[in-house]
Structure 1
Amino acid sequence: MKAKAAVTFGKGEPFRITDIKIDDPKPGEVLVRLVGTGICHTDLLAQSQAYPVPLPAVLGHEGAGVIEKVGLGVTHIEVGDHVVLTYSSCGTCGGCLSGKAYACEHFYDLNFGGKMKDGTCRLHKDDQDLSNFFGQSSFAYYSVASVRNVVKVPKDVPLEMLGPLGCGVQTGSGAVLNKLKPSPGTSIVVFGTGTVGLSAIMGANVAHCGIIIAVDIQESRLELAKEMGATHTINAKDQNVVEEIMKITKNGVNYAIESSGRPENSRFAVDSLAVLGTTVQVAGAALGTEVSLDINTILFERNYKGFLMGEGVPQLYIPMLIELYKQGKFPFDKLINYYTLEQINDAIQDTKNGTTIKAILKLGEV
């Protein structure tokens, strides 16, 4: 079939809206009519080739839509189901078999390598193959995805806003609820108040943390962080972050989350820990980016850990987040601004400028 998509043809080039050809789903795959797709920092890293994805490509990895067709062997997903698309995994390696698909041994190849699991492409422009992204390529009106990417969601919530649950929202909230699992009353600091950081703050609020500190350089985002549950805010533009954290907590925080992707913030996050504290790194940067840490800080029982994709089972975790949203405990809809597919370059510029936190491309009606 033919469909419109936003295609990245060259390193750093603006997206171009064009017609592409999409193959039918193969066994274990589905065809999804997309209703909304979030724009994530990882899409921008791929566009700039900070994460080298083969080009030309159809990026996008926070899709939500309606099942239009299922391939052979797909039995638990039906035509008409509402779904969120998340990351790709192989299903057969040690990480996947132990229920930790986020630690799939083939994660990078399947999500950034440009091809589906069988080594072929489903997307084409004239006689040229287009690279796939995260097993979904959701900057388009239709997507072919592995059934392992698919999360069935209830039909009583607006489908167009659910795409970010597949990456940014589950990553930020999962850093708290799945990785750190803080006890009620403990303290946490979050560096960066974009989608991931604000989702972490919402997660910390759900977990009943006592002190929740948000760090950013934009006052408007810090004000929103307060709405999401932050008890304290620090503007890193004009304050010494570590000193301010120590003033608030006296001995440092129990937990820190670095969601900005800036190496200096990784250092601040570790330096702000209390003894036995843990920092989780949730944001990526250009490949090869290095972080400098003080050995003696780490030596005194402080921890620094990497983290991917919410560290949960998306098919279980994403419906749980939706239920929290329905109960008014996880208001991630406050982060969203909508754009059309044709406005994708404007949406990206607004994201870079910080005027939009979570841009969603609205692609159609349910």
Structure 2
Amino acid sequence: MRIQAALVERAGAAFTIRDVDLEPPRDDEVLVRMTAAGICHTDLAMRGRWPEKISPMVFGHEGAGVVEAVGAAVGSVRVGDTVALSYRSCGGCDQCTGGHPAYCLRSDLNMRGTRADGSSPLSLDGSAVFGNFFGQSSFATHALAYQTNVVRVPAALSPLIAAPLGCSVQTGAGTVLNVLRPSPGDTVAVFGCGGVGLSAVMAAVSLGCTVVVVDPNPARRELALSLGATDADVTGAHHAIDTTGRPDVITRAIGALRRRGTLALVGLGGKAEFDIMTVMYNGIRIRGVIEGDAAPATFLPQLIDLHRLGRLPVERLVTEYPFTEIEAAARDAATGKVVKPVLTFG
């Protein structure tokens, strides 16, 4: 079928909307007509360094839409279902069967730009277009996804809410609810108030925690405060969350913890140095977290319940853009003008 997709022709290039061809779903695939797609920092980071040999590329991994067709082996969703899309996992390795699909041993399935067999369902004038990003490539009017990353959601749920659940909200809230699991009254320090950080703020506030935020952007700090946080001095925290991936911020986060406190690292970054004696002497735990250590099929419904109860007001983070303005939306996200741009499809 002929669809429209936002192509990145080479590393660092702008998003360009083109007409491309999409194959029908295979036995294990689900065809979804997109109604919304969030723009995540990961999309922008990977756009800047995606290999030329697997370009042009279609990114996007916070999709929401309606199922239009399913393969013969798919039994979890059917045509007409409203769904949110998340990351892909194999479903069969020990991490997946043990309830931790975010650490799937086939994590390459999310980043290879092709199906597992090396093929791509996308093409332009007979030449391959790469995609399958996080098992979806949702910067397009239609996307092929998989049983492990398609989650049914209520039809009445706005796609502007459903889309960000699949990554940024899941990552931030999951870090609090699944990994740190603070007790009411604990202090949680959140470094960086983007979509992930603010989702962590909302989740921690919902548990009755004292939440302290650090961010150089006044507007984002103000939003965090309106969600129940404070910007007081960060000392003696039970838990800290770094969403920046910056070595200097990570060092500061370690220094903000009390003895036997825990630091969760969720931001993309390179290398960081810290004082080993400080960590050892204070019994500090450092934990890396992917996708909030969440299983989307069970965790996204929990997030929807929290939203319904008013404890996870995701709409406070969202700015809507039509799909045709994807480059402007990406620019606004990169400069910090908006927290969570969500593309909508007419």
TM-score range, shorter chain: over 0.9
Distance 1:264 1:206 in 2: 29
Aligned to 1:245: 234
CA distance in 2, matches of 1:89, 1:311: 12
Matched, 1:330 2:312: yes
> Secondary structure at 1:4's aligned position in 2?
strand
- Cα root mean square deviation, aligned: 1.4
**Following the alignment from structure 1 to structure 2, what is the Cα–Cα distance between the partners of residues 53 and 350?**
28
Q: 1:255 to 1:212 in 2, by over 3 A?
A: same
**Shift of residue 69, structure 1, vs aligned partner:** 0.3
Could you tell me whether the CA contact under 8 Å between 2:322 and 2:343 is conserved in 1? Answer: yes
Q: CA deviation at 1:50?
A: 6.9
**CA drift at 1:53:** 8.7
* Residue aligning to 2:223: 224
Task: Among all aligned residue pairs of Structure 1 and Structure 2, give the percentage whose two residues are the same amino acid.
Answer: 40
| Comparing 92-101 and 55-64, the one that deviates more | 92-101
Q: Which runs of 5+ in 1 are unaligned?
A: 235-243, 247-251
Q: What is the CA distance between 1:52 and its match in structure 2?
A: 8.6
Cα separation, partners in 2 of 1:96 and 1:198, compared to 1, 3 Å: same
> Partner residue of 1:63?
63
Provide the C-alpha distance between the structure 1 equivalents of 2:174 and 2:308, rounded to a whole number of angstroms.
18
In structure 2, the partner of 1:147 is: 147
1:258-292 Cα offsets, whole Å, 9 max, x none, are: 0122221111111111001000001113xxx1101
Question: Where does residue 212 of structure 1 map in the other structure?
Answer: 211
- Which residue number in structure 2 is paired with residue 99 of structure 1? 99
Q: Number of aligned pairs?
A: 344
> For the Cα contact (< 8 Å) 1:136–1:144, is it kept in 2?
yes
Per-residue deviation, 1:347: 0.5
CA contact (8 A) 1:37 1:64 kept: yes
**Equivalent residues in 2 for 1:145-224, closer than 5 Å:** 145-209=145-209, 211-224=210-223
Whether the aligned pair in 1 keeps the contact of 2:33 and 2:68 (CA below 8 Å) is yes
Tell me the distance in 1 between the aligned counterparts of 2:114 and 2:21. Answer: 15
Q: Distance in 1 between matches of 2:121 and 2:338?
A: 32
Match of 2:333 among 351, 361, 366: 351
Shift of 1:101: 0.7
Distance in 1 (alpha carbons) for counterparts of 2:244 and 2:122: 32
* Unpaired stretches in structure 2, ≥5 consecutive residues: none
Shift of 1:13: 0.5
CA deviation map 1:9-45 (0-9, x unaligned): 1110001110011111101111000000000000011
Which of residues 258, 263, 271 in structure 2 aligns to 1:290?
271
1:54 aligns with: 54
Distance (Å, rounded) in 2 between the aligned partners of 1:51 and 1:18: 20
Tell me how far apart the structure 2 counterparts of residues 245 and 168 of structure 1 sit (CA, whole Å): 24
Task: Verify the 8 A CA contact 1:53 1:112 in the aligned structure 2.
Answer: no
1:84 and 2:84 correspond: yes
Task: Measure the CA separation in 2 of the matches of 1:99 and 1:189.
Answer: 27
**Superposition pairs for residues 266-345 of structure 1, below 5 Å?**
266-285=250-269, 289-300=270-281, 301-345=283-327
Matching residue's letter, 1:307: V
Range with greater deviation from structure 2 (298-307 or 125-134): 125-134
Give yes or no for contact 2:160–2:320 (8 Å, CA) kept in 1: no
SS at match of 1:174: helix
User: Which segment is superposed worse, 18-27 or 112-121?
Assistant: 112-121
Structure-2 residue corresponding to 1:240: none
1:115 CA displacement: 1.2
Structure 1 contact 83–150 (Cα < 8 Å) conserved: yes
Give the corresponding residue for 1:33. 33
Q: Is the 8 A contact 2:160 2:318 kept in 1?
A: no
Amino acid at match of 2:226: E
Deviations, residues 103-155 of structure 1 (Å, cap 9, x unaligned): 10111x11111112333211111222122211100000000111111011111
Could you say which residue in structure 1 is the equivalent of 2:114? 115
Q: Distance in 1 between matches of 2:149 and 2:32?
A: 11
Q: Secondary structure at the match of 1:268?
A: helix
2: distance between equivalents of 1:275 and 1:69?
53
Counterpart AA for 2:103:
A
Contact 1:31 1:144 in 2 (8 A): yes
Task: Output the CA distance in 1 between the equivalents of 2:50 and 2:199.
Answer: 24
